[in-house]
Amino acid sequence: MSLPDNPVPGGAESHDDEDSPRARAEAQWRAAFEAAPLRDGTFETMSGVPLAAVHGDPPYPGQFPYTRGIYPSMYRSRLWTMRLFAGMGTAADTNLRFKRLLDAGGTGLSTAFDMPTLMGRDSDHPWAVGEVGRAGVAVDTVADMEDLFAGIDLGGVSTSMTINGPANILMAMYIVTGERGGTERSRLSGTIQNDVLKEYQAQKEYIFPPRPSVRLVTDLIRFTTAEMPRWHPVSISGYHIREAGSTAAQELAFTLANGFAYVEAAMAAGLDVDDFAGRLSFFFNSHIDFFEEIGKYRAARRIWARWMRDRYGAREERSLQLRFHTQTAGVSLTAQQPEVNIARVATQALAAVLGGTQSLHTDSYDEALALPTERAARIALRTQQVIAHESGAANVADPLGGSAYVEWMTDEMERRATEVFDHLDKLGEGSILEGVYEGIANGYFVGEIADSAYRFEREVNAGRRIIVGVNAHTEGDDSDTPTLYIDDDVEDQQLARLAEAKQRRDGGVVVAALERLAADAADPTINLMEPIIDCVRVEATEGEITSALEGVFGSYTEPAVV
């Protein structure tokens, strides 16, 4: 599909001298745009008006500092990946949901694990009683991981796994699952969240203290840099920071600060910044304040590009480009009049698209009540497809760029984030990594998020902030909404599977592998990914591997903040 007859960005002929900065920017953008393959599409309005690919002034999409998007053609070449989050009950249960989502047009899989798995505990651990398979899928062994992806071509699908404290263990299980199914690790494509710093700040699903936890993150960065060119080893997540009650600016600042911290940790481990930075990814929330969210995404790209170039010395273009996944705001969903959540999700999804996201998960309208039903998940996917194919939002890159309000909001988001970076830099005496460690230890992050959440809740309770169906417009249909039910037998089935797995393996071989892992963990120079993979291959469980590491690293208890 060619551009309109007048191909200059904005649809107007340029009268600038061909050697002017604007003319050079236009020529560079044009060359990059024409080199990109375009998807099939009708790039015109419903009335037949042809559309230029971008409007406004340079820098254009694909040009530093990437405020307007990281690719010259953006969604004209490729739509964002449409991810649907799934995970419930046993691995076999979730496998069926995965296949239905792919059949419905989903283009990527996102895996939700149950609470015991997230905490690195097996289903037979005392803490796991009543939680097995409830809020996600239970994965204790590599056999569970094999069942989870049975019949799915791991070399042909992009997989995202939402796991943090035990991320290295689940990554090892995924690698071994691929090997056993004939897919080499180099062909595996996807993302593992593996963002442990935000656990101490917001989500609280940590296991080990911060410093050894960051070592594990760094080990996975080093490992994937060498072995897995299609894998994103960290998805630096603002989503959970926002869900805990932060403002948009705090989400932006805390998330990017954590990203800078991982960069510093990886460089301290001996990696060149351009060897790994291009495969770091981000995960943002898309909340309900439409223009604030768009400004947040645009500011994030600009900040990352400038810091990576000017502070960390990155030179490769890919290292400067912030790529991000977005999920609509679960915390914004209401149990009252839950069908109204469909409108909320559509608004939030459109903000993510107009902000230039690379992949998107849309929440299901019933998630304030339970895990989503299959019907609700299908509506969530259809919401993305309507935006992609009917709204026209994917035809022009950064269509709101140049708006006085959007540009001001982008600048304001950056200004507020910079105040946070300055504070952390001072705390860390010139190191963002050390500043983040200190901010965790002294309660800075927890306190800032708590204050913001409290302020918002007071506004809602006072009626100064309207939540439709909650504190205003409460009349309407509050009839029971069908919800997904997880049968009590799920826990019994999983416990039986785990017991069987332990019985059929060679216990002596497992003990030896775990002992070798513990010895390697005591040496900070050893990358622990291969030793963990060795443990997985001999059928060690997630809980056993966690315990071996815990014996060396210790466990973490959050200090009280007064």
Which stretches does DSSP call E strand in 54-210?
81-86, 108-112, 158-162, 189-192
Report d(CA 199, CA 435) in Å as an integer. Answer: 16
DSSP alpha helix (H) spans, 104-209: 115-118, 142-148, 167-180, 197-198
The closest of 84, 121, 124 to 105, measured between CA atoms, is 84
DSSP states along 315-364: -SHHHH---EEEEE-GGG--SSSGGGHHHHHHHHHHHHHHTT-SEEEPPP
Residues near 42 by beta carbon (within 8 Å), at least 6 away in sequence: 1
- Quick one: tokens of 484? 């997904």
Give the phi and the psi of residue 324 in degrees, each rounded to 5.
-145, 150
CA torsion sign for 476, 482, 484, 487 is positive
Residue 347: its pLDDT value, please? Answer: 98
Report CA 133 to chain centroid distance, whole Å. Answer: 22
* 110, burial (CB in 10 Å: exposed 0-12, middle 13-18, buried 19+): buried
Q: H or E segment at 231?
A: strand 231-232
Report d(CA 384, CA 364) in Å as an integer. Answer: 12
Measured CA distances, 386 to 205, 391, 393, 394, 501 (Å): 35, 7, 10, 11, 45
Report d(CA 316, CA 535) in Å as an integer. Answer: 36
Long-range pairs, 57-60, Cβ under 8 A, ≥24: 57/10, 57/22, 57/402, 58/9, 58/21, 58/22, 58/25, 58/26, 58/29, 59/25, 60/9, 60/25, 60/26, 60/29, 60/397
Report d(CA 74, CA 81) in Å as an integer. Answer: 12
Q: H or E segment at 217?
A: helix 210-227
CB 234 within 8 A of CB 281: yes
Q: Kindly report the CA angle at 144 between 141 and 146, in degrees rounded to 5?
A: 110
Per-residue pLDDT of the chain (562 residues; tens, 9 = 90+): 333 444 455 544 455 577 889 999 999 999 999 999 999 888 999 999 999 999 999 999 999 999 999 999 999 999 998 877 666 678 998 898 888 878 877 667 889 899 999 999 999 999 999 999 888 899 999 999 999 999 999 998 889 899 999 999 999 999 999 999 999 999 999 999 999 999 999 999 999 999 999 999 999 999 999 999 999 999 999 999 999 999 999 999 999 999 999 999 999 999 999 999 999 999 999 999 999 999 999 999 999 999 999 999 999 999 999 999 999 999 999 999 999 999 999 999 999 999 999 999 999 999 888 878 889 989 999 999 999 999 999 999 999 999 999 999 999 999 999 999 999 999 999 999 999 999 999 999 999 999 999 999 999 999 999 999 999 999 876 667 777 667 778 899 999 999 999 999 999 999 999 999 999 999 999 999 999 999 999 999 999 999 999 999 999 998 876 6
Residue 185: its pLDDT value, please? Answer: 97
Tell how strand 81-86 and strand 359-361 pair up.
Answer: parallel
The closest of 119, 158, 124, 151 to 135, measured between CA atoms, is 119
- Quick one: tokens of 28? 């560079």
> What 3-state class would DSSP assign to 29?
helix
**pTM for the whole thing?**
0.93
Report d(CA 2, CA 7) in Å as an integer. Answer: 9
- In one letter, which amino acid is 204? K
CA dihedral angle for residue 192, residue 194, residue 198, residue 200, rounded to 10 degrees: 140
Residue 7: its pLDDT value, please? Answer: 47
